[in-house]
Structure 1
Amino acid sequence: MTAAHPTAQDLLRELAPQVLGALVRRHGAFDACEDAVQEALLAAALQWPAEGVPANPRGWLVTVASRKLVDQIRSESARRRREDAVALATPQAELLAPAADAAPATDRDDSLALLFLCCHPALSAASRIALTLRAVGGLSTAQIASAFLVPEATMAQRVSRAKQTVKASGATLAVPEGAEATERLAAVRHVLYLVFNEGYTSSGGDDLTAPELSAEATRLTRMLHRLLPDDTETAGLLALMLLTDARRPARTGPNGELVPLAEQDRGRWDRRLIAEGTALISRTLPRGRVGPYQLQAAVAAVHDEAAGAESTDWPQILVLYDLLGRFGPNPVVSLNRAVAVAMVDGPAAGLDLLEELANDPRLARHHRLYATRAHLLEQLGEHESAADAYREAARRTTSAPERRHLTARAHRLG
């Protein structure tokens, strides 16, 4: 054993997909292998801080997970034939060797194949998120449940159903090809985007953000970018996350209250993340076909590069949202474009666009529509109507910090 490593938890998350890929490739049975890897990760989390990280941590986890898998199969008499098959496929020397000295059977990294498997089209968006965070992110069911503010039993059922769906689909650990690969990659990016957004602005609960989710989404997107360095949309997604998360330190006040973008202390923004994100999107945009994540990253870069809210290049942002609109109807993009129009042509022009968006069922009941309307009405000096809109937005949000912020705005206007 080496000395205890201060980032053992980070190492476990990095190794989780590699270990699961090694087991699935050797034994099949994704659901059983995933359970075994989770047990190995738990054992390491308990043992490594006290005894130190093994010299070969990946081999340690592969061996312990293999033992857990064999033990699991041997304990289920109804699955004796499967036990025999796995026992024959697993070298006895590996089962008997000291776990800390075990070497992995292969250095092959199946992380990309696992991402594709966890985003199988047979799964719902919620199941894809849960399975990705558990199988590829190495998070426990309890951690995922806590991050999404649901009971652990509920998340356990979601993960279990997802694994059974993957099993029933007959999907194998392989990167799809052609059109299927393109479609599945888009699903992978979307899952990571959703996880990041939930971490950046929690949809419910007492806290505005869930940093562990945003950090995990960024980590997995970095991994995806390393595996697919020529995919410009993955690069754009990573840049978007970096440029957006750079503002996190200034998004809340001393008591956890929400601070709007225009009122944030930009001196608290993370300049290292801004520099990294700006450099990445600057390298990516000229390389090929531009996609939605790249354009959203470009919008974030314009905001982050402005010295203050008053010096933001809103005409450039409006052009970028016009380009984003060409990729198909998107109510959130349309709402953000209305804000850009208001900043360029005046609040009345923005309000006219909001009236059109009120007919979109995907947005009509969303609190952000009412909050945006309230802000533009306030700019026009229509304080009574603005206060009503703020109160309506507060009633519709499920985020406690957002509700407090919107209610305070309404009270300020009387």
Structure 2
Amino acid sequence: MTDSGSTLARSVAERVARESYGRLVAYLGGRLGDLASAEDALAAAFLAALEKWPVDGVPDNPDAWLLTIARRRRLDDWRKDKVRARSADHLALITEELSAAAERAEEIADRRLALMFACAHPDIDVSVRTPLILQTVLGLTASDIAARFLVSPKAMGQRLVRAKARIKDEKIPFVVPEKEELSNRLPPVLATIYAAYTNGWMDIDGAETLGQEAIWLARVVVSLLPQEPEPKGLLALMLYAEARRSSRRASDGAFVPLDSQDVGLWDHEQLRLAEGLLREASANGPTGRYQIEAAIQSAHVARRLSGIANWQAVVSLYDVLGRIAPSPVVTLNRSVALMRIGQADAALGDIYALAGDPRMADYLPYWTARARICADLENHVEAAEAFTVAIGLCWSEAERRHLEEQRSKVLC
């Protein structure tokens, strides 16, 4: 294979591995009843794929290929541990099932939703439910997850190990529970679906697949719990964002912020679906975080489509969100809206207050908002400094160029 062919095959292999991880760990882990073993076996399969596919080519059914390698790895481990002698019947049954799945031409059954609800089981500590789903379904590392939850990677790693051992020891089944149990397990499941979507959304240089799968998972949850308002709120929130995806780039690849996007490029069918879901959610029961966030997106869409400023309504919605689900991010976004209604001093006061939060030190939206508010106040030196930090944190080439253009304006 040529160097260019090898590079292409490796790129495809890496993409398939990313896209297949959640599906395969859910399928294999459900059969083994052991998440840690499933992850170890799949790690070996992914490594083999990255070594072999660039040379041999990507197989017609990548998931089946990965499952076959993972199955062989797990069987080898069983033999080394001499487990086979003690549970030959169980091992034979699992081997036959996994072999049959790998040989089928169709796509391997998607068990991610069942895995998510298993990780949200009452026997799993509340504090580790969402981190556990983030690792097992999205494949995030303990270090990545620790940064999100403001704990050390070591502590997070220990929590995750204990949670996986609990699933194995308590034989927690990988099934979607009965409807009367679903609501209690819902918050960490919704949080993980949204994390999956935002990961796909932030990667505007590619990776739309993760966002599409998050939307699919949300649709499944809505169908399981049609009377629950928050799944509809979450699905609406994601559809509002997804409807704008094609307008985020100019013809030359440059990043385009919301207020400069061509609304003619928006997917208006998705916007109508989002509006309908938000109305249904509002009629179904108590207002929750995702409904308010969806309402904020609805307000942004309405402003652009009508040309009528509605920033006061946005501030009011952030006030409600701050009471329901207070967070530094809510405060940050509210400060940007305050700036738009002429309350620059209040906006900057909130920005300065957030500076003491260690999470803001490497949070790109914080430095972007700080830079723009300072620029609006004609504090050009501080604006340029904030833009410089934001540029250093930005990994999207298109967005980085946009920030560099903004910085050059305040330096003129």
TM-score by length of 1: 0.69
Question: Equivalent residue for 1:280?
Answer: 277
- Provide the residue aligned with 2:10 in structure 1: none
Counterpart selection for 2:90 from 78, 86, 94: 86
SS at match of 1:80: coil
Amino acid at match of 2:83: R
* Matched residue type, 2:191: H
1:166 partnered with 2:173: no
SS of the residue corresponding to residue 284 of structure 1 reads helix
Bigger mean CA offset, 335-344 vs 174-183: 174-183
Q: Distance in 2 between matches of 1:93 and 1:216?
A: 26
* Residue in 1 that maps onto 2:133: 128
Give unpaired runs (5+ residues) of structure 1: 1-8, 50-59, 135-143, 149-157
Distance 1:361 1:90 in 2: 47
CA drift at 1:390:
2.0
Amino acid at match of 1:20: Y
- Cα distance change on mapping 1:181 and 1:219 into 2, 3 Å: closer
CA distance in 1, matches of 2:372, 2:255: 15
Q: Bigger shift: 167-176 or 190-199?
A: 167-176
2:361 and 2:315 mapped to 1: Cα distance? Answer: 22
Q: Deviations over 1:178-202 (max 9, x none)?
A: 9996564211211121121121114
Q: CA deviation at 1:87?
A: 4.9
What SS is found at the alignment partner of 2:347? helix
Q: Using a 3 Å threshold, how does the CA distance of structure 1 residues 309 and 375 change in structure 2: closer, same or farther?
A: farther
> How many angstroms does 1:268 deviate by?
1.2
Deviation, 1:269, is 1.3
CA deviations on 1:351-409 (whole Å, 9 max, x unpaired) are 23323323333335533233213222333344444333322332344544433322221
Q: Could you tell me how far apart the structure 2 residues matched to 1:83 and 1:131 are? A: 26
The answer to whether 1:215 aligns with 2:212 is yes
| CA separation of 1:201 and 1:73: change in aligned 2, threshold 3 A | closer
Q: Matched residues in 2 for 1:224 and 1:92: separation?
A: 31
- Give the match for residue 196 of structure 1: 197
SS of residue matched to 1:259: coil
Secondary structure of the residue that 2:341 maps to in structure 1? helix
Q: Cα–Cα, structure 1 residues 345 and 309, in superposed 2: closer, same or farther, change >3 Å? A: farther
Q: Distance in 2 between matches of 1:247 and 1:94?
A: 41
User: Structure 1 residues 229, 111: CA separation in 2 closer, same or farther (over 3 Å shift)?
Assistant: farther
In structure 2, relative to structure 1, the CA distance for the partners of 1:164 and 1:68 (3 Å cut) is: farther
How far apart, CA to CA, are the structure 2 residues paired with 1:126 and 1:400?
29
Would you say 1:333 and 2:333 are equivalent positions?
A: no
Query: Partner of 2:292 in structure 1?
Result: 295
**CA shift for structure 1 position 233:** 1.1
Residue 229 (str. 1) matches residue 226 (str. 2): yes
User: Which of 4, 27, 36 matches 1:20?
Assistant: 27
Distance 1:362 1:93 in 2: 46
Larger displacement relative to structure 2 (179-188 or 346-355): 179-188
Structure 1 partner of 2:317: 320
State the distance in 1 between where 2:77 and 2:376 align: 66
Go from structure 1 to structure 2 and tell me whether the alpha carbon gap of 1:365 and 1:76 turns closer, same or farther (over 3 Å shift): closer
Q: Output the CA distance in 2 between the equivalents of 1:238 and 1:231.
A: 12
Offset, 1:330:
0.3
Q: CA deviation at 1:223?
A: 2.0
Distance in 2 between the 1:222 and 1:87 partners? 35
Could you say what the CA RMSD is over the residues aligned between the two structures, in angstroms?
A: 4.7
1:93–1:80 CA distance, 2 compared to 1 (3 A): closer
Distance in 2 (alpha carbons) for counterparts of 1:329 and 1:97? 45
Aligned pairs for 1:14-53 within 5 A: 16=23, 20=27, 24=30, 28-29=33-34, 46-47=59-60
Q: CA shift at 1:344, angstroms?
A: 2.1
Aligned to 2:150: none
Q: 1:92 to 1:396 in 2, by over 3 A?
A: closer
Unaligned 5+ segments in structure 2 are 1-15, 50-57, 145-155
Question: Residue 393 of structure 1 corresponds to which residue in structure 2?
Answer: 390
Question: C-alpha distance in 2, partners of 1:97/1:286?
Answer: 43
State the TM-score, normalizing by the size of structure 2: 0.69
Which has the higher mean CA deviation after the structures are superposed, 192-201 or 397-406?
Answer: 397-406
**Distance in 2 of aligned mates of 1:35 and 1:292:** 36
Match of 2:11 in 1: none
Structure 1 residues 178 and 280, CA gap change in structure 2 (3 angstroms): closer
**1:322-358, Cα deviation, whole Å (9 max, x unpaired):** 1101024301111111112222234343223323323
Aligned length: 362
The CA distance in 2 between the partners of 1:344 and 1:357, in whole Å, is 20
